[in-house]
Structure 1
Amino acid sequence: MSNTDVGHSIETIFSAGEILSRLQVLAQEIAAKRPENLLVVPILKGSFVFAADLLRALHAAGIAPEVDFLTLSSYRKSRSSSGQVSILRDLDLDVQQRHVILIDDVLDSGRTLAFAKDLISARGAAKIETCVLLDKRAARAVSIEPDYCAFTCPDVFVVGYGMDVGHRYRELPFVGRLVD
């Protein structure tokens, strides 16, 4: 399936229905571990749609976490990582002795997620897990694997479902790739 937007065709990789079905399964996997004192930390901006839908699925599974946000960037307006991770917005809540689940959109080089995990660890979290929408299984710059993953993704630049290129396409209800 493809959609057209302002001169670009967008090929669907994961449909809205596939995503929502998978999130229900992820929420059940998380709930089965009965996390206590849970703090969910979406890494913005790309994970915001995924995080919102996952939080609703967690609620349906009987989990009521606190939520705070961390804004990190290694891409800026580019399609490739700069290799440097910057904190653009820090957490408001204390993570000390908390079970923290970091939510990210895409795990590729691993730098952003590893940076966030190290940051939360240094601040005294009791347990840190990671949950990603997409694992590209690309050559990682750092050694990290997600605790929870919705989909393994081809190694292509993706947009939609919160992910963008130049601040566009976040609103799409599916994950797709631009076809030039």
Structure 2
Amino acid sequence: MRTRILIPVERIADRVEAMADDIAKAVAPDTTAIIAMTGGFVFGADLLRALSRRACRFRCDIMQLQSYGGGLVSAGRPQITLVPQSPLVDADVLFIDDILDTGRSFKAALDHFAAQGARSVRTAVLLDKPSRRLEAVDADFIGFEIPDLFVIGYGLDLDRRYRELPDIHVVEGE
């Protein structure tokens, strides 16, 4: 497999800090942060640490949504395989995800938060691929807008591999 670096780790770190500045000004003090697993764990951890340096304290939780069946394209209808354990009734939620692609998983998460009675939901994604959007959803805070490329690294995977890469790479071929 051939890859090339699309976004180096230094640019990612700078952008995460800038996003934390914006989020710290916009979210309620008693917000519940929910990270979409598994891809969002690196970005989510870095973002929450950056927010803690700005004196933001959150309840932290995770949820797992699955829509990729091991290939390069979304398998379609997402499934929530792990729900947040935090009570969401009247909660202010910050949903953190690695990538907003077709919007199907993103919408499934937003629908779940609404069904659980969340008072408000703000969203942060590291990567946004608007050219692939199938659902009418947008993120409140976006790290980078990227074209329709398959990317790995910084939490993003291909068949559960390459999440540990510090940079975001484009998969160019086998």
TM range (shorter): over 0.9
- CA shift digits 1:11-57 (9 cap, x unpaired): 11111100010011111101112522201101111111000100110
1:42 aligns with 2:35: yes
User: What is the TM-score when the length of structure 1 is the normalising length?
Assistant: 0.93
Q: CA deviation at 1:171?
A: 0.2
Matching residue of 1:115 = 108
- CA distance in 2: counterparts of 1:107 and 1:34, whole angstroms: 20
Number of positions where the alignment pairs a residue of Structure 1 with one of Structure 2: 173
- CA distance in 2: counterparts of 1:170 and 1:94, whole angstroms: 30
Residue 19 of structure 2 is aligned with which of 26, 36, 42?
26
User: What is the TM-score when the length of structure 2 is the normalising length?
Assistant: 0.96
Matching residue of 1:102 = 95
SS in 2 for 1:25: helix
- CA shift digits 1:113-134 (9 cap, x unpaired): 1110010011011110111000
- CA distance in 2: counterparts of 1:31 and 1:14, whole angstroms: 24
Q: CA deviation at 1:141?
A: 1.1
- CA distance in 1: counterparts of 2:29 and 2:57, whole angstroms: 10
- CA distance in 1: counterparts of 2:132 and 2:164, whole angstroms: 29
- CA distance in 2: counterparts of 1:62 and 1:86, whole angstroms: 34
Aligned-residue CA RMSD (Å) = 1.0
Matching residue of 1:70 = 63
SS in 2 for 1:56: helix
Q: What residue identity is the alignment partner of 1:23?
A: V
Matching residue of 2:119 = 126
The percent identity for this pair of structures is 34
Q: Tell me if structure 1 keeps the 8 A contact 2:33–2:95.
A: yes
- CA distance in 2: counterparts of 1:112 and 1:105, whole angstroms: 11
Matching residue of 1:162 = 155
Name stretches of at least 5 consecutive residues in structure 1 with no aligned partner: 1-7
- CA distance in 1: counterparts of 2:69 and 2:36, whole angstroms: 14
Q: What residue identity is the alignment partner of 1:163?
A: L
Name stretches of at least 5 consecutive residues in structure 2 with no aligned partner: none
- Runs of 4+ in structure 1 over 6 Å off: none
SS in 2 for 1:20: helix
Q: Tell me if structure 1 keeps the 8 A contact 2:131–2:148.
A: yes
